[in-house]
Structure 1
Amino acid sequence: MVTRARAGISKPNPRYANVAVAPAISLIPTTTRAALRDPNWSATMQEEFNALIDNNIWDLVPRLSGANVITGKWVFRHKLHGDGTLERYKARWVARGFSQRPGVDYDETFSPVVKPTTIRTVLTLASSRGWPTPRDQFQHFAAVVTKLRFVASRSDASLFIYNTGDDVALILLYVDDILLTSGGGRDEIKAA
């Protein structure tokens, strides 16, 4: 058998092509203290913290006596380009929700997650019947809600507004996430 090596054919792995010239990558820290000592990780942590503050992720409140305070931790990783070079440092602050007690810290939670088997089944049905699939879901969704008398916002294509009498409904569509809220309102919301 003639192999590439015997035939003198060499195909270097592109992941390792720039190893000699690539700048040194800071190792993933094992502690928060180690991350804070490294300027690359420290800057990334500050960006994450600023994003959490800017998005009003939490409110600081006085600690109640006997309250179970949910702590968090930093999770670090490298994001790499397809060729193996560093794209960016990634630091995320995550809550340790496993320390919550049902009936004490929360009553119920619900986070719908689609099972891979369900995705394959739906895509198979769509393909076999010629139905539209996720790549054109936005146009299809917009057409459907427009028929239901929602109006597309002129300032944000992802926002759809429904007004009738005192009732208002808002739908936000972002990639594959939908947020729906509704209620009675005194003023009409304009689709600006």
Structure 2
Amino acid sequence: MGILSSAGAKKGAETEAAALKSLAPAYGTLTEKQYGAISPYMKAGQGALTAQMQMIANPINSQVALSEYYASPEYAIQQDQAAYSAMAGAEAAGTMGNTATSNVLASSATQLGQTYLKSLNTARGQQIDTLGDISQQGLSATKTMGGWASNNLSDATDLMAGAAQLEGQAAAAPYYGMQRSLFQMPYYFGMGKGKGK
């Protein structure tokens, strides 16, 4: 490498280093865009997890739920239907004043209440499961974003390291060219065994 070629190498290394440096900030912009696209899923997952934890920490109060149910129009309708069904069955069997019929009528309130509580707990369990699915999707989105950010940082760091290396080559290029030229001088002036080419 002569003095002229070292000047070209210096200029080439400087140009490439500048190009690499100009690309590195694009990874920051890319990370911001990726975060903007995935952050709704991350936030939804966090909200779902909070709601899920609140539901688990505050189970259904059976006494309150049953009191509200027994005072509701829904219970009155269901109780009437159960009583009518029991009475119709007793009348058909000829056991209208029977103790068994009275027991069926008395137990219908308990059965209706237990059925109601079971349906409440089933629905609540499904809600908790659904919130768990949403929070899991949020966790997956958070992991994905972490991977993207890590890759983007790594790529930007690699670009900056490459730029620094090229800047070092650019700074050293004149010295490489001068050193080589000095060693080749004896050949150019006929002082060596052969002429330099």
TM-score tier (shorter): under 0.3
TM (norm. structure 1) is 0.21
Larger RCO: 1 or 2 (CA < 8 Å, sep 6+): 2
More helix per residue: 1 or 2? 2
